[in-house]
Amino acid sequence: MTNSPTATVRSEALGELLPPLSANQAAVESARCLMCYDAPCTHACPTHIDIPKFIKKISTGNLRGSARTILESNLIGATCARVCPVQELCEGACVLGAEHKPIAIGRLQRHAMDFAYGTGTEPFAGAKATGKRVAVIGAGPAGLSCAGELRKLGHGVTLFEKRELAGGLSTYGIIGLREPMEVALAEVAMIEKLGVKIETGKELGKDFPLGDLQTRFDAVFLSVGLGTTPGLGIPGEEHILDGLQYIEHSRVDASKLVVGRNVAVIGAGNTAIDCATIAKRLGALRVTMVYRRTENEMTAYPHEYEFIKREGVSFSFLTQPIRVDAQNGTVKSLQCVRMQLGSADASGRPAPLPIEGSEFFIPADQVVKAIGQEKPSLATRLRLETEKGFIQVNAAFETNLPGVYAGGDCIRARGAASTVMAAQDGKLAARAIHERLVARG
Ligand SMILES: Cc1cc2nc3c(=O)[nH]c(=O)nc-3n(C[C@H](O)[C@H](O)[C@H](O)COP(=O)(O)OP(=O)(O)OC[C@H]3O[C@@H](n4cnc5c(N)ncnc54)[C@H](O)[C@@H]3O)c2cc1C
Ligand code: SF4
């Protein structure tokens, strides 16, 4: 038996998990909404989409108007409809959740946005040109949101992206089960249609310096996200695969991703769950998630934890990897030590402490690490002030360098990083930049 299924089987295994709603299902679901006054779902949405308004428009068959309502608050509404942890946000706040089922807000939002992109609807015309120019660095959710909002306000915007494709983690990092790459790229195309000039393959700090942008543009917005996966600092580390690259390969060309039969995934956050899902769905016989604390301290969302258990993935909690054992370049096992929890550490969670003499082996022919991302290195290279390694900004998203703003994951010193928070940062930063440019005249 082989564990290398065909390309078709592979892409189906990682195809979008939830099917789209049919027109009938959307009509029935939207009719259930109570259209609450001062709706709690809207308050719970970080971008404050007017949820009852867009649902009402679906119920009256006005899908174009519904998409417009969504985009007025959130230019990357198609991605958010798919990747947002709606259970924790809008759907978690829906008044119908207490006794019945909450409204399927995410799926209704996807219904409206799929219509908009499927029919080529152009919901916004560019405002009258102001003559001001803004450079946006990094074309992830924060950068796209900021660039699009600035264009809506009439400013000239150039978006510089170091990768070949724009979209940031929505393009390269989100598992296909949640969001197909085409959805992220359709949003990029819409931002371009708004009049944003996107230059890919252009990296700040390598291809051009910040000073250059400061002379050519009236303001700069940094939305560079975070860095690569940090090292574990253990012998045999060179045999460990990077979880972000594992996901990227599964998106860009799943047929080329080599998946082991016995895979150990180090970490217990959402990225680790995505890596474990890919391994399991692409043919691994056994997948074990290895985490040094317990399920109580896991950073993955509870619904993701439940999902991965249903996928048949095993867990080794209170386990710290200490070495990767390999022979002739082939991984044989992950050597680990048992841990116990001590008093709270700097993160506020109980510190994991090794139990002497408790070493053991987890059989594995592939080891993947998904233990978070490095802080934005650009911050120190540009001599920006930082907080816990993240770029520090004031209430108007401005860094210590006048006219240089930042938002998205690169400023997220507190709270969980998410696509919708990045989109909101971009929108609010665009408004702050606009106020400054208008005030300056
Ligand atoms: C594996 C994974 C799964 C996730 N799943 C979810 C999810 O399901 N739901 C959710 O809400 N959130 C999820 N997130 C988090 C979410 O993807 C991020 O919060 C969001 O993408 C942040 O947007 P951003 O624009 O700040 O950064 P990014 O999306 O990281 O974009 C930054 C962009 O800047 C570019 N860049 C960096 N440096 C430079 C430079 N010097 N010059 C030019 N360009 C540069 C990068 O190439 C990149 O395109 C996930 C994250 C990961 C890692
Ligand atoms: S809280 Fe629920 S029922 Fe009320 S407006 Fe929002 S989606 Fe509709």
- Residue 95 in contact with ligand 2 by CB distance below 6 A: yes
Identify any residues that bridge with 367 across adjacent strands, giving them in sequence order. Answer: 264
Report how far ligand 1's centroid is from the alpha carbon of 422 (Å).
8
Residue-level pLDDT at 10 = 67
Residue-level pLDDT at 425 = 98
Separation of alpha carbons 335 and 410, rounded Å: 34
Report how far ligand 2's centroid is from the alpha carbon of 65 (Å).
18
Q: Which residue from 69, 365, 411, 113 is spatially nearest to 239, judged by alpha carbons?
A: 365
Report residue 1 CA to chain centroid gap. Answer: 36
Q: From the CA of 40, give the closest atom in ligand 2.
A: 1
* Domains of the chain (ranges, CATH numbers): 20-119 (1.10.1060.10), 133-227+374-440 (3.50.50.60), 237-369 (3.50.50.60)
**In testing the pocket of ligand 2, which one of 35, 59, 99 has its CB within 8 Å of the most ligand atoms?**
35
118 CB-contact burial (10 Å; exposed 0-12 / middle 13-18 / buried 19+): exposed
Residue-level pLDDT at 345 = 85
Residue-level pLDDT at 255 = 79
Residue-level pLDDT at 8 = 65
Separation of alpha carbons 59 and 145, rounded Å: 28
Closest listed ligand to the CA of 225: 1
Report how far ligand 2's centroid is from the alpha carbon of 86 (Å).
13
Element (DSSP H or E) covering residue 169 = helix 169-172
Residue-level pLDDT at 128 = 87
Report residue 40 CA to chain centroid gap. Answer: 24
What's at 145, amino acid-wise?
S
Separation of alpha carbons 409 and 178, rounded Å: 20
185-207 in b/e form (b: 16+ CB < 10 A) is ebbbebbbebbbebeeebebeee
Q: How far is CA 254 from CA 165, 184, 222, 432, in A?
A: 17, 17, 31, 41
**Greatest Cα-to-Cα distance within the chain, rounded to the nearest angstrom:** 71
- Residue 225 in contact with ligand 1 by CB distance below 6 A: yes
Q: What is the pLDDT along the chain (441 residues), one digit of tens a residue?
A: 344 556 666 667 888 999 999 999 999 999 999 999 999 999 999 999 999 999 999 999 999 999 999 999 999 999 999 999 999 999 999 999 988 899 999 999 999 999 999 998 776 777 789 999 999 999 999 999 999 999 999 999 999 999 999 999 999 999 999 999 999 999 999 999 999 999 999 999 999 999 999 999 999 999 999 999 999 999 999 999 999 999 999 998 877 899 999 999 999 999 999 999 999 999 999 999 999 999 999 989 888 999 999 999 999 999 999 999 999 989 999 999 999 999 988 878 899 999 999 999 999 999 999 999 999 999 989 999 999 999 999 999 999 999 999 999 999 998 889 999 999 999 999 999 999 998 877
Residue-level pLDDT at 123 = 67
Per-residue tokens: 78: 């198609």
Q: Which residue from 191, 186, 150, 157 is spatially nearest to 170, judged by alpha carbons?
A: 186
pTM reported for the whole predicted model: 0.95
Separation of alpha carbons 345 and 374, rounded Å: 20
Residue-level pLDDT at 2 = 41
Report how far ligand 1's centroid is from the alpha carbon of 339 (Å).
32
For residue 104, the number of C-alpha atoms closer than 13 Å in the C-beta half-sphere is 18
Report residue 294 CA to chain centroid gap. Answer: 24
**In testing the pocket of ligand 1, which one of 74, 144, 169 has its CB within 8 Å of the most ligand atoms?**
169
